[in-house]
Amino acid sequence: SDLQKQEERGELLQPLVFVLLVLCSVLLYFKVSLMDPGFVRSEEEAGKSEEQSMMIPQVPSNIKMRRCGYCMVKQPMRAKHCQLCQHCVRRYDHHCPWIENCVGEKNHPLFIAYLSVQLVVLLGGGHVAWSGLYFEQSWDWLRHNILLLMSFLLIVVFTVVVLLLLVSHLYLISCNTTTWEFMSHHRISYLRHSELENPFDQGVILNLWRFFC
């Protein structure tokens, strides 16, 4: 394959970059899956320590809050209770089975970074796998290359899934909406009764700026 030829020639930059990207992807995975996605804390828990209370964003007085029927905390707008995490999550997007955690206000940007790095890793892995395939119409060739061929097909499937997921998230971010709001627009009171289709949309540039910066 191309990777083996580069190693034989002593050209280790591309393999090193690939390994670093894989490592970065793994670290991002653990960071996104283990961090607080933006859990809404109760007033009593928030008042336990000054440091914790400073970390919890203050809710503007003009935003209507209601009590969650499950965890009984004051639920700010755009928050939703996750049955799997047993918490209300600020700016709830979805509960991701890949990371076994919610994607919310705090970890959504890192989730996008994780998907982006993962896509680059998959494209690099697919290129390496493809460079090692030399097709021949014989059972002997298939017997010796079946694992590499299956690996390449598996990489293609995961690449398509990650690409579609990343593109869909970037589209929703550019509209300043979440997956939950997009899928359940007709069931969310502050969207169903709003005069605007999306009251949070402030234009593509400002939406992206506020999300990433």
CB-CB contact of 2 with 11 (8 Å): no
Residue 117 CA to residue 28 CA, distance in Å, equals 9
Residue 199 CA to residue 175 CA, distance in Å, equals 10
- Taking the alpha carbons of 49, 55, 60, 64 in that order, is the dihedral positive or negative? negative
The DSSP string of 113-126 is HHHHHHHHHHHHHH
Between the two ends of the chain, the Cα-to-Cα distance in Å is 41
**Cα distances (angstroms) measured from residue 97 to each of 84, 94, 118, 177:** 10, 9, 16, 21
Catalytic residue among 88, 96, 102, 213: 96
Residue 129 CA to residue 150 CA, distance in Å, equals 10
96 is catalytic: yes
Residue 18 CA to residue 4 CA, distance in Å, equals 13
Spell out the residues 6+ positions from residue 119 whose beta carbon is closer than 8 angstroms to its own.
159, 162, 163, 166
Q: Which active-site residues does the annotation give?
A: 96
